[in-house]
Amino acid sequence: DPEVVILSKMAYQTLQQQYLQIPPVTRAYTTACVLTTAAVQLEIITPFQLYFNPDLILKNYQVWRLITNFLFFGPVGFNFLFNMIFLYRYCRMLEEGSFRGRTADFVFMFLFGGLLMTIFGMFVSLVFLGQAFTIMLVYVWSRRNPNVRMNFFGLLNFQAPFLPWVLMGFSLLLGNSIIVDLLGIAVGHVYFFLEDVFPNQPGGGRWLKTPSIIKMLFDSPEEEDANYNPLPEDRPGGFAWGEGRRLEG
């Protein structure tokens, strides 16, 4: 039926357009996470090929584990959906907010955060760091947007800087280990302190400088992307457990 073909083509083009409107770093990371989880779900690969293992990385040269341990969030279910929503929303809001037009700096934050998390992760025996990485993104966003009021599942009202701690409390309620949340908060705080706090203190300086090679690879002098469509600023959460609005005054 020609009409069905036309409608299918239109639906595909609409989805493609929506997908391309997602800023590049957020698009790449969330896509990689979804594809990795799908590959595990379809039994194309197993979590044993993905988890962080320093011995296998150093002795067997399985260097991909340095990246893949950030891409797997467990089997498809509530926990996976919860993590993906938070990852997508807060990664995108950072990229479209304080990192707007600074793709290289955002990539450098990913690399710095990932490296620090990998080092810390070795001491607490965590084999998958994606959830901690999400908490790091949430932490940095929450500290840079202190006047945004949040609503968590319609039960709690609080200001944005408390969000990572509320999520940690939620992890406790679900019976999950809070080591993951604490690691994300710790790394997020180190980045926030070095990038936002220390440079503005007397005698302080900028320790985190994006290497020129990263700037050369990711920063483009071109005009803004025609597909760009930012998330609404007045709804930073966008979901029942993360809706927010800015305080006036």
Query: In this structure, what are the phi and psi dihedrals at residue 203, rounded to the nearest 5 degrees?
Result: 80, 0
DSSP string for residues in 174-221? TT--THHHHHHHHHHHHHHIIIIIGGGSTT--------HHHHHHH---
Token pair 């907010």: residue? 97
- The residue range of the domain holding 62 is 2-246
Which pTM does this prediction carry? 0.84
Can you give the pLDDT at residue 42? 94
Please tell me the predicted confidence (pLDDT) of residue 239.
39
According to the model, what pLDDT value does residue 135 have?
95
Report mean pLDDT in 10-residue bins for the chain, 249 residues.
72 84 94 95 93 92 94 89 92 94 95 95 89 95 93 82 91 86 96 91 83 88 50 42 38
Q: Which helix (H) or strand (E) holds 49?
A: none
Looking up residue 99, the CATH number of its domain turns out to be 1.20.1540.10
Q: Three-state SS for 70?
A: coil
DSSP-derived secondary structure letter, 231: P
Q: What total number of domains does the chain contain?
A: 1
pLDDT of residue 6: 75
